[in-house]
Amino acid sequence: MPHLCFSNLNALFLKLTKKYFGTDGIRGRVGKDPITPQFFMHLGYSAGKVLAAANWHMTKGSRPVVLIGKDTRESGYMLESALEAGLIAAGVDVELSGPMPTPAVAYLIRALRLQAGIVISASHNLFEDNGIKFFSAAGSKLPDELEHRIEAGLNEPLETKPSAQLGKAHRIDDAAGRYIEFCKSTFPYHLDLRGLRIVVDCANGAAYHIAPHVMHELGADVIAIGDDPNGLNINLDCGATHIATLQEAVKHHHADLGIALDGDGDRVMMVDKNGRCYDGDQLVYIIAEHRQQKKTFTGGVVGTLMTNLAIEHAFKKMKIPFLRANVGDRYVLEFLKQQGWQLGGESSGHIICYDKHTTGDGIISALQVLYALRDNDKTLAESMRGVLLYPQRLINVKVPKSFDLSQNRAIAAAQQEAEADLNGKGRVLIRASGTEPLVRVMVEGESEQKINYWAEYIAKTVERSDQS
């Protein structure tokens, strides 16, 4: 048995006992614990103490500086103020960017040489929810160790620093312009988007004042939709989680293609002129094939347990190594770092081009796809020719937060039945969501009739288990 030191055992134990942090920060219904101003103030204070203790990249005697960004939810004002108060009470200076995509915050942390960044967002959820994500000085999501330290600090009282040691707050006025220029810099200077009519669906979210400008300044004729947030309409019948709105708009405006982002701008879906949708799996394939063609591709591709089997087979045919990580962009990024690779993503549209940015970025990923299309003078459909996705059926089943999927024998038996019937010509994946009280049931295979039957059968088994 390999030797494990005490610190490693402790880290493994803590990883199993995180109370608040999920796979993508903390998320929940506004007004219910933990998404309350009281909790956020204490969270800010605890995070401030941890960051001060870490003393990252700071000259002696200086205070840590943390950037706070948010999406367009009405509750963002309240939570931002509470978080700001907690950080300042801990002696941390705060920079405020206002509404800003999650990947923009990750970029600005590095550009401004700050110690950390925080995004107030519930990503693709509707406005009733909100949440929080932390980023390190390197622009990556915080490691488990620091999340545990922050959680541990919530058990300690909030003790305000003396007045002379309190932090200060400052608003960044040019945050949007800085990020727009950064996005544009990832697109080759010898190419532009002139002659393309593009519909950009901003999901009434954080990219509403960013994404259309990026595409327009690169030369595209841009029709922006979902660009009028009112605090309550984020992700409502628009964006990457409701692609029908973009499909209709592309056809109505006779556009060449459409780009849909989610509420915090870290995922992307695309639509061609005929209204056909291209998910994260397909967009990663287009980027990878183009890079291999240009001889700029190094290493392999990281997908997830949800990645369509046809994409894996296509990479195998191209002799591109492929690995599956657990669902969640942080796990994709962990694999990329471990392997020294540059490209990975999820079917949901989280795509990481690690040579361009430290985190998943919907705008930059879209630009990498557009680079491939312009460079090869191809459409989305032409770029995917020859790759036929296997039918997949995904059903989300609501369950109580206390629901224990791992101990449920009925669900395990249903999965075994399905796998036996598919007989190696498909996959079954049943997992608890890391961000919502849901069990996700996915069945994939050659026969659409079989996958529909087994997906519905397993979903009903989950529902019955919940009621028992």
Question: 217 — phi, psi (to 5°)?
Answer: -70, -20
Give how far the C-alpha of residue 111 lies from the chain's centroid of Cα atoms, to the nearest Å. Answer: 21
- With both helix axes pointing from N to C terminus, report the angle between 280-294 and 362-376 in degrees, rounded to the nearest 10: 50
Question: 201 — phi, psi (to 5°)?
Answer: -100, 110
70 neighbors 119 (Cβ within 8 angstroms): yes
Please report which residue ranges of 377-447 form alpha helices under DSSP H: 380-383, 409-422
Q: Which residue is it, tokens 């079954």?
A: 428
Please report which residue ranges of 343-425 form alpha helices under DSSP H: 362-376, 380-383, 409-422
Q: Is the dihedral of CA 351, 200, 264, 30 positive or negative?
A: negative
Question: 408 — phi, psi (to 5°)?
Answer: -95, 110
301 three-state secondary structure: strand
Q: Which residue is it, tokens 């984020």?
A: 234
Q: How far is CA 189 from CA 50, 88, 291, 375, in A?
A: 42, 42, 17, 12
Residues in Cβ contact with 429 at an 8 Å cutoff, skipping those fewer than 6 apart: 305, 306, 440, 441, 442, 443, 444
| Catalytic choice (121, 123, 136, 348) | 123
How many CB atoms are located within 10 Å of the residue 275 CB?
Answer: 15
Residue 7 annotated as catalytic: no
Amino acid identity of residue 335, one-letter, is F
Q: How far is the first Cα of the chain from the last one, in angstroms, to the nearest whole number?
A: 41
- β-pairing verdict for 26-29 and 129-136: antiparallel
Which of the residues are catalytic? Answer: 123
